[in-house]
Amino acid sequence: MWKSILGATSLALGMSGGAMAQERISILSEWGEVTATLADNDAAGALLDMLPVTIDMRDHLRQEKTGYMPSDLPELPRQRDYSTGTLGLWSSDHFVIYYSSGNVPAPGIIVLGQVTGDVSIFDRPGNITVKLTRHD
């Protein structure tokens, strides 16, 4: 049990390089809505500044939904592990919502935040359009 707690703590700290920012966003789709807490980093801040934004996403490897942002976000250190609900960037404009946990090949992802709602709404085949907005 302690190993799980330590692993979750390490992942959360690795997302931001420190404490998580309290900025939250809503991710809305025809399949439902979830809330996410953004990481405390420049890429997440740039994402927040561009909101609202709509992204057409497709299912990839039955573990994630992926889609392209309207513009690049800052390049930051990457990590290979992710948890269920991680929001990330595969490239500077390639947004990802993970609905399972695992790891990705090098160079890894830039972590943007963590979904705090039920991310399983995205765990189905097919394309989806999502709208990212500031959470009230």
The boundaries of the domain holding residue 95 are 2-134
Percent of the chain beyond pLDDT 90?
A: 82
Taking the C-alpha atoms of residue 119 and residue 53, their distance in angstroms, rounded to an integer, is 19
Q: What is the mean pLDDT of the chain?
A: 88
Answer whether 66's CB lies under 8 Å from 95's CB: yes
Percent of the chain with pLDDT over 70: 85
CA neighbor of 90 nearest in space, from 101, 103, 39, 129: 103
pLDDT surpassing 70 at residue 78: yes
pTM reported for the whole predicted model: 0.84
| Residue 61 CA from chain centroid, whole number | 16
Q: Which two tokens stand for residue 117?
A: 């709602």
d(CA 32, CA 92): 26
Judge whether residue 4 has pLDDT over 70: no
Give the CATH number of the domain where residue 48 resides. 2.40.100.20
User: How many folded domains does the chain comprise?
Assistant: 1
Task: Give the pLDDT confidence of 88-114 residue by residue, as tens digits.
Answer: 999 999 999 999 999 999 999 999 999
Average pLDDT over residues 29-40: 97
